[in-house]
């Protein structure tokens, strides 16, 4: 049986660096009672506004919630949304010493209009073109300085295809981490899917795998998923595949050991942010234990728990501990 009390205490000693696309998640909550006379759209009477950290920042929120010392490395705009994002980081005790502010970018802000716990509309303010080579060099300097100062146990690459992670930067960053023998985990997106060569843990979802490898997966079976891992490994030469399968659970493959972990029954309110929680929990557990099966089991539980909340939500450490003891120490 796993000593979960000790493992959760060990999280407090872990140092994590998260590199990728940070963003601001804005929620406008209101009431809909009528349709506009100007166009066939609902009229939302705004009642409150809420700001949360999103993207790679939501991964940081999860690692902090579990107790890990967390540093974020990214690029934001020199704008009001960037200032607001910085203040949210500070409030959550996320280290922003290596955050790069640049006039050529804007801070990504996804504004969701909500009514009766449902999303009515989303407005995205963003620049998604890749960062320039000048910014790449500045970011690489920040990243290297961060690794030298923080000496992290794990680096999480959180790619949202917003332009911060470029193939050139990814290659250089992986090389720097490999030299320092740092565990690397990746939450990929479409553009750079096959750029993460030589990482420790590669965590796409099933849709991303199909698009990234341009394959169809006729059925979610262990045999088919093992073939997917083999195909990924041909491109990436990585150590572990961890593939999320929505309602079917999660799959891991190390080459010598593979398993599908089914989901636990939950009442699902909102799936946004679940992937951020999964990569955060899997990365911390693997960094602490080097046990990928345990990391997958715990990430599977954590992803389910946050789906019970509306909007991007960080994992509750106490709740996760109780669920792990209940479901995994049988």
Q: What is the pLDDT of residues 92-150, one digit of tens each?
A: 999 999 999 999 999 999 999 999 888 999 999 999 999 999 999 999 999 999 999 99
For residues 68 and 16, the answer to whether their CB atoms sit within 8 Å is yes
Across residues 264-271, what is the average pLDDT?
A: 62
Cα–Cα distance measured from residue 142 to residue 136, given in angstroms and rounded to the nearest whole number: 10
What confidence tens digit (pLDDT) does each residue in 281-294 have? 999 999 999 999 99
Q: pLDDT at residue 65 above 90? A: yes
pLDDT for position 118: 87
More confident residue, 267 or 63: 63
Q: pLDDT at residue 52 above 80? A: yes
What confidence tens digit (pLDDT) does each residue in 16-32 have? 999 999 999 999 999 99
Total count of residues recorded for the chain: 330
φ, ψ of residue 275 to 5 degrees: the values are: -60, -35
Would you say residue 38 lies in a domain? Answer: no
pLDDT for position 272: 62
Q: pLDDT band for position 312 (50/70/90)? A: low
Would you say residue 307 lies in a domain? Answer: yes
What confidence tens digit (pLDDT) does each residue in 229-254 have? 999 999 999 999 999 998 899 999 99
Q: How far is CA 93 from CA 64, 65, 68, 90, in A?
A: 8, 10, 10, 5
Cα–Cα distance measured from residue 63 to residue 60, given in angstroms and rounded to the nearest whole number: 5
> What 8-state DSSP symbol labels residue 248?
G
Strand residue runs (E) in the chain? 15-20, 22-35, 42-55, 69-77, 99-102, 109-115, 118-125, 154-158, 183-187, 201-202, 240-244, 250-253, 258-261
Mean pLDDT of the chain: 94
Q: pLDDT at residue 270 above 60? A: no
Q: pLDDT band for position 267 (50/70/90)? A: low
CA proximity to 54, closest of 111, 102, 136, 113: 111
Would you say residue 39 lies in a domain? Answer: no
Across residues 36-48, what is the average pLDDT?
A: 96
Across residues 62-82, what is the average pLDDT?
A: 97
> What 8-state DSSP symbol labels residue 2?
-
CATH number for the domain spanning 278: value is 3.40.1190.20
Would you say residue 157 lies in a domain? Answer: yes
Which residues have a catalytic role annotated? Answer: 276
Cα–Cα distance measured from residue 203 to residue 212, given in angstroms and rounded to the nearest whole number: 12
User: Which residues, at least 6 apart from 44, have a Cβ–Cβ distance to it below 8 Å?
Assistant: 28, 30, 31, 32, 113, 115, 120
Lowest mean pLDDT among 65-74, 150-159, 268-277: 268-277
pLDDT for position 117: 82
pLDDT for position 305: 87
Percent of the chain, pLDDT > 90? 88
pLDDT for position 247: 86
Cα–Cα distance measured from residue 99 to residue 143, given in angstroms and rounded to the nearest whole number: 9
Q: SS3 of 245, please? A: coil
Cα–Cα distance measured from residue 28 to residue 117, given in angstroms and rounded to the nearest whole number: 11
pLDDT for position 266: 64
pLDDT for position 306: 80
Cα–Cα distance measured from residue 190 to residue 173, given in angstroms and rounded to the nearest whole number: 19
Q: pLDDT at residue 269 above 60? A: no
Q: How far is CA 150 from CA 73, 90, 237, in A?
A: 12, 18, 27
Which tokens in the block code for residue 250?
A: 């999660």
Domain encompassing residue 127: 4-31+44-328
Which tokens in the block code for residue 136?
A: 């790449």
Q: pLDDT band for position 271 (50/70/90)? A: low
How many domains would you assign to the chain? 1
pLDDT for position 1: 86
**Burial degree of 66 (CB within 10 A; 0-12, 13-18, 19+):** buried
Would you say residue 133 lies in a domain? Answer: yes
At residue 315's C-alpha, the angle toward residues 313 and 316, to 5°, is: 115
Q: Pairing state of beta strands 250-253 and 258-261?
A: antiparallel
Which tokens in the block code for residue 2?
A: 């796993």
What confidence tens digit (pLDDT) does each residue in 169-211 have? 999 999 999 999 999 999 999 999 999 999 999 999 999 999 9
Would you say residue 230 lies in a domain? Answer: yes
Residue showing tokens 């341009």? 214
């Amino acid at each position: 049986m796993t000593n979960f009390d000790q493992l959760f205490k060990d999280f407090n000693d872990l140092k994590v660096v998260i590199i990728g696309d940070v963003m601001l998640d804005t929620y406008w909550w209101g009431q809909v009672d009528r349709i506009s006379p100007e166009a066939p759209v609902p009229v939302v009477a705004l009642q409150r506004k809420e700001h949360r950290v999103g993207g790679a920042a939501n991964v940081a929120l999860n690692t902090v919630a579990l107790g890990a010392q967390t540093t974020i490395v990214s690029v934001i705009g020199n704008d009001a949304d960037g200032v607001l994002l910085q203040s949210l980081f500070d409030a959550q005790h996320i280290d922003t010493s290596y955050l790069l502010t640049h006039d050529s970018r804007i801070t990504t802000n996804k504004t969701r209009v909500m009514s009766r716990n449902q999303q009515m509309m989303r407005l995205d303010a963003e620049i998604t073109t890749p960062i320039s080579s000048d910014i790449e060099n500045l970011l690489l300097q920040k990243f290297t300085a961060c690794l030298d100062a923080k000496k992290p146990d794990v680096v999480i690459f959180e790619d949202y295809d917003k332009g911060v992670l470029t193939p050139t930067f990814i290659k250089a960053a992986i090389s720097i981490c490999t030299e320092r023998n740092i565990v690397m985990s990746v939450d990929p997106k479409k553009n750079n899917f096959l750029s993460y060569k030589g990482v420790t843990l590669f965590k796409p979802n099933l849709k991303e795998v199909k698009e990234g490898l341009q394959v169809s997966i006729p059925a979610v079976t262990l045999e088919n998923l093992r073939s997917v891992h083999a195909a990924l490994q041909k491109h990436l030469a990585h150590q572990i595949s961890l593939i999320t399968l929505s309602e079917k659970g999660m799959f891991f493959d190390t080459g010598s050991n593979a398993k599908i972990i089914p989901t636990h029954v939950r009442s699902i309110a909102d799936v946004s942010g679940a992937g951020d929680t999964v990569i955060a929990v899997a990365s911390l557990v693997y960094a602490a234990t080097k046990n990928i099966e345990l990391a997958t089991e715990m990430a599977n539980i954590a992803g389910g728990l946050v789906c019970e909340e509306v909007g991007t939500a960080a994992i509750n450490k106490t709740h996760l501990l109780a669920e792990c003891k209940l479901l995994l120490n049988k």
